[in-house]
Amino acid sequence: MRLATVRTAGGTRAVRIDEDAAVDLGHADLGDLLVRYLTDGAVLTTRIAGVGECRNVCRGEKVPA
């Protein structure tokens, strides 16, 4: 799934990028979407033993040789 903030005639909107369309997610931008999602109590937390800090993972074709 790809998410983006796009500029529209009325301002910015958070969207989900589908193959040939940007689907409005009902929020002004991704920051607003995440803040509302993370603060509305809908997030469940699961503790996983042995999980430590890690680096971002790049897709293989984007990793320089």
pLDDT above 90 for 13 = yes
Q: Tens of pLDDT along 27-51?
A: 999 988 888 877 765 555 556 566 5
Is the model's pTM score more than 0.85?
no
C-alpha to C-alpha distance for 48 and 39, rounded to whole angstroms: 22
Of residues 42, 4, 40, the one with CA closest to residue 24: 4
pLDDT of residue 43: 52
Q: What is the number of domains present in the chain?
A: 1
Cβ pair 17, 4 in contact under 8 A: yes
DSSP state of 19: S
Residues spanned by the domain of 53: 2-62
Average pLDDT of the residues of the chain: 75
1, 14 Cβ separation under 8 angstroms: no
Average pLDDT over residues 5-30: 91
